[in-house]
Amino acid sequence: MDSKLVKNAIGRIVPTEVNGKQAVPFQGVGKYKPTGKKTAPPVATCADYPADGNKIVADIKTALIKAGIKDGMTISTHHHFRNGDLVANQIFDAAAEIGVKDLMWFPSASFPCQAPIIEHQKNGVIHHIEGSMNGPLGDYCSQGKMRGLGVLRSHGGRYQAVQDGEVHIDIAVIAAPTADPFGNANGLTGPSACGLLGFALADSQYADKVIIVTDNQVPFPCVPWQIQGNYVDFVVVMDKIGEPEKIISGTTQITKSPDRLLIAEMTAQFVKDAGIMKDGFSFQAGAGGTSLAFAIYLKEMMKDAGIKARFVRGGSNQYLVQMLEEGLTDYILDGQTFDLDGVRSMRENPGHVNTSPFTSYNYHGKGNFASMVDAVVLGATEVDINFNANVVTHSDGKLLHGIGGWQNCLFSKCTILPIPSFRDRIPVIVDEVTTVCGPGELIDVVVTERGIAINPKRTDLIDATKNSSLPIRSIKEIKAEIDEIIGSKPEKPKLGDKIIAVVKWVDGTILDSIYQVQD
């Protein structure tokens, strides 16, 4: 592959070709507007499908063969089971048995439970992964061992890539907690209930072939049909598709760290003092411990002030459900469900609404929810003095996290990053981030235990909080304080010249490159 390197609009060096396809360098926020028609799946004919609606086949291997699996195809999966997924590994085990090679795996995210995929990369079944890589898979990629380039997309960016034809899914395999033989499916019930299946929506609509895998078969009709059977080719029934205790993951523990609680409290106080917390407002908080604590502090402040939100965006969990049930919000617009209370609420409460990356985040939609949210609270591994932020690599250059919905959420009216100013000895506020995942112009506030920095562009927020008792300081001042504590200037980590992955912006352009880590 002979790819040129160019400097993009945010000053980062990026390749012009990714995995054999032309790539557009980042041009600026909202600048890149492709034209033409959206992609479409092949024309199907209902006469080719069983009239009795029974699409069940024996097993995954049979389904893959019937779907016409071939060398070099793209196979997609979703990550609603998080670290409790039992299906992805079986797909590629079956592919190995069939004897196909060089597949591209296109998960909406990967997790440590999928570490066996590394073996399938080594034995040639998988050529490369395009999708968020968490843990061991990210590590493998970081070491430069993956054959193609890793492509990191946001949840919205994944929808965009499918819809504008950048990624063509040959076979979508959708693990579904409940399904009928026709392929109607949802995540609301069954032993592997995960709430919703929004991350698999694009896959069901645009893939050439769609396979539903379930461990909870119900007679037709399976309602509500979050995934519509009319898109589905085959249904596979197996004993167990997920490990419930890992689906309902541990990321929903509130932090016990006093410092993080302080940061969460300061964040909630900021939302209040800046006048964002008012009747009919909306917010979104991620799944991390600090974000959860933020939601709890904000809830108390809302109660004290008698204020009610119109909607809250999930990642839902028991705390958001409590807000809904106590009447502190009219709706939860939910993109993924993090605990059993979230699953129950989505099943029972009409105010708990199932959303997808299409409704919330898609660049090719005629608008989306992300920009309508009054405040969003997100994590980051690093933020620089220009407010550019990183979520995928650590300061040592290692690729360890996916983007998730993070980039999409930056379009909120007020993007707040509550982060510790340093971890162990490693500064989180730096001169220049290792990898740009979010341009500074979209990041409004950084809350650390040592003070709150407001992006100078947001003079409105600066004015709104000028009488607040919060410690509002410039980002450079906070950085100077950390630098003094840390005691010596961090060295530049040793990175190779080899690009091992790229970070896409929400519009499909290349925002930054990730380099191989040297040992």
Partner 1 sequence: MDKAAEAGRKGQDVRSDCWIKITPKNTGGIQLNSNSKVGALFGKSIEKLVRDGLDFFGIINASVEFEDRGALPFVIMARLECAVRRLNLDNGKEWLPEIRECCSYETTRERFRRSRLYLPGNEAKFMLNAGLHKPDGLILDLEDSVAPSEKDAAQLMVRNALRQVDFYGAERMVRINQISQGLDDLKYIAPHNVHVILIPKCESGDQVRQVDAEIESLLKQKNLNHKILYMPIVESALGAIKAYEIASASPNVVALTIGLEDYTADIGTQRTLEGKESFWARSQVVNAARAAGVQPIDTVFSDVTDMDGLRESVYEAKSLGFDGKGCIHPRQIQVINESFAPQEIEIDKAKKIVLAFEKAESKGLGVVSLGSKMIDPPVVKRALQTIKLALDTGKLEPNWREGGEHHG
Binding site for partner 1 (CB under 8 A): 258-259, 261-262, 395-397, 423-426, 449-450, 469, 484-488, 490-491, 493-494
Nearer to partner 1, 9 or 486 (CB): 486
Contact 457, 422 (CB under 8 A): no
Nearer to partner 1, 22 or 488 (CB): 488
Phi, psi of 225, deg, nearest 5: -90, 90
Nearer to partner 1, 262 or 462 (CB): 262
* Least Å from the CB of residue 423 to partner 1: 8
User: For residue 142, what are its two tokens?
Assistant: 């970081």
* Least Å from the CB of residue 453 to partner 1: 15
User: For residue 106, what are its two tokens?
Assistant: 């296109």
Nearer to partner 1, 34 or 490 (CB): 490
Beta bridge partners of 176: 214
* Least Å from the CB of residue 427 to partner 1: 8
Nearer to partner 1, 73 or 495 (CB): 495
What is the spatial distance between Cα 158 and Cα 74, in angstroms, rounded to a whole number?
A: 14
Q: How many CA atoms lie within 13 A of 38 on its CB side?
A: 14
CA-to-CA dists, residue 397 to 109, 146, 147, 382, 516, angstroms: 20, 16, 19, 11, 8
User: For residue 369, what are its two tokens?
Assistant: 């929810």
**Containing H/E element for 122?**
helix 117-122
* Least Å from the CB of residue 142 to partner 1: 12
* Least Å from the CB of residue 258 to partner 1: 4
* Least Å from the CB of residue 267 to partner 1: 15
Question: Which ranges of 123-256 would DSSP assign to H, the alpha helix?
Answer: 136-142, 155-163, 201-206, 244-247
Nearer to partner 1, 33 or 466 (CB): 466
Nearer to partner 1, 305 or 485 (CB): 485
Contact 512, 446 (CB under 8 A): no
* Least Å from the CB of residue 261 to partner 1: 6
Contact 222, 179 (CB under 8 A): yes
Nearest CA to 449 among 490, 477, 478? 478
What is the spatial distance between Cα 376 and Cα 232, in angstroms, rounded to a whole number?
A: 35
The single residue listed with the structure tokens 């608008």 is 367
Dihedral of CA 50/56/57/63: which sign? positive
DSSP classification of residue 438: B
* Least Å from the CB of residue 225 to partner 1: 45
Nearer to partner 1, 91 or 472 (CB): 472
